[in-house]
């Protein structure tokens, strides 16, 4: 049996199955990247729900694993050299899992770097901009009298959707074959039209290549399962 006692987070969120990968998250656009990936590759794991609404990600036990205090994070009891390893930042986790299993990342250098480019595009552009738009449409920002900040994020979200839509003009998936490039983006694009209710203000239906891509992604059983993991308490 794997010994995870060196990770303080396991005292706050005990592992029932310490030989499995431990996954700490909530079903947010960033969190579901990892749950979808884990469902796609079939690696045994144990999810732990982190209630970000009560700042559990700021708990010292969680900070001990991720000093940035953000979900998701993992502990792999079977890391490099057979030793446990802790990981945080969703893109880093996806790359790690892809390389560990040899799945969902191209093996040839050119396509591999293309996939990584789109992963980092999501991390540096789509996620931050879409998240800010969600703030202005659904949360505290919606009450601001000055709508110029909201419009800035509407305009930039449209631009970014245009970039992705053009990439999908002649292919089913972002870099040809389904990969971590798609997994990073599906949760965020889906959130635009579900959690953020931004479909109308963005003219989402005009991005026909994205809408078809998102439909294909949401039809995947692993994506359907991953979008709901970890399960929110009733």
pLDDT at 154: 98
- Identify the domain boundary among 86, 104, 122: 104
pLDDT at 86: 98
Q: For 96-121, give the DSSP string.
A: HHHHHHT-SS-SSHHHHHHHHHHHHH
What tokens were used for 114? 């293309």
Percent of all residues in the chain with a pLDDT value above 90, rounded to a whole number? 95
C-alpha span between 73 and 22 (Å, rounded): 8
Residue pointed to by tokens 């203000």:
201
pLDDT at 186: 98
pLDDT at 152 over 70: yes
1 lies in some domain: no
Averaged pLDDT for residues 24-53? 98
Averaged pLDDT for residues 89-107? 98
* Its pTM surpasses 0.85: yes
> 120 with 61, same domain?
no
> 82 with 171, same domain?
no
C-alpha span between 57 and 164 (Å, rounded): 31
Averaged pLDDT for residues 31-59? 98
What average pLDDT does the structure give for the chain? 97
Averaged pLDDT for residues 150-156? 97
- Identify the domain boundary among 104, 134, 153: 104
230 lies in some domain: no
Residues in the chain: 234
pLDDT at 27: 98
53 lies in some domain: yes
pLDDT at 234: 77
pLDDT at 228: 97
142 lies in some domain: yes
> 128 with 78, same domain?
no
C-alpha span between 159 and 36 (Å, rounded): 26
pLDDT tens digits along 111-150: 999 999 999 999 999 999 999 999 999 998 988 999 999 9
pLDDT at 1 over 90: no
pLDDT tens digits along 180-206: 999 999 999 999 999 999 999 999 999
pLDDT at 175 over 80: yes
pLDDT at 16: 97
Averaged pLDDT for residues 201-213? 98
pLDDT at 213 over 80: yes
> Which residues constitute the domain of residue 70?
9-104
Contact 229, 32 (CB under 8 A): yes
CATH of the domain at 208: 1.20.1050.10
Contact 30, 70 (CB under 8 A): yes
């Amino acid at each position: 049996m794997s010994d995870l006692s060196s990770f303080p987070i396991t005292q706050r969120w005990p592992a029932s199955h310490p030989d499995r990968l431990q996954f700490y998250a909530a079903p947010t656009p960033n969190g579901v990247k990892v749950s979808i990936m884990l469902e796609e590759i079939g690696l045994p794991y144990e999810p732990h729900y982190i209630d970000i609404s009560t700042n559990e990600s700021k708990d010292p036990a969680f900070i001990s694993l991720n000093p940035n205090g953000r979900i998701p994070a993992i502990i792999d009891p079977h890391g490099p050299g057979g030793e446990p390893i802790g990981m945080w930042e969703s893109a880093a986790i996806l790359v790690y899992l892809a390389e560990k299993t040899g799945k969902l990342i191209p093996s040839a250098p050119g396509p591999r770097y293309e996939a990584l480019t789109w992963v980092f595009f999501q991390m540096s552009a789509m996620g931050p901009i879409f998240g800010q738009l969600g703030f202005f449409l659904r949360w505290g920002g919606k009450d601001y009298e000055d709508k110029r900040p909201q419009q800035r994020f509407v305009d930039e979200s449209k631009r970014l959707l245009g970039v992705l839509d053009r990439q999908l003009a002649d292919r089913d998936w972002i870099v040809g074959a389904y990969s971590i490039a798609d997994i990073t983006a599906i949760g965020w694009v889906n959130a635009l039209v579900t959690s953020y209710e931004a479909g109308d203000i963005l003219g989402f239906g005009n991005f026909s290549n994205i809408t078809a891509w998102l439909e294909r992604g949401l039809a995947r059983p692993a994506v359907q399962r991953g979008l709901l993991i970890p399960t929110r308490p009733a």
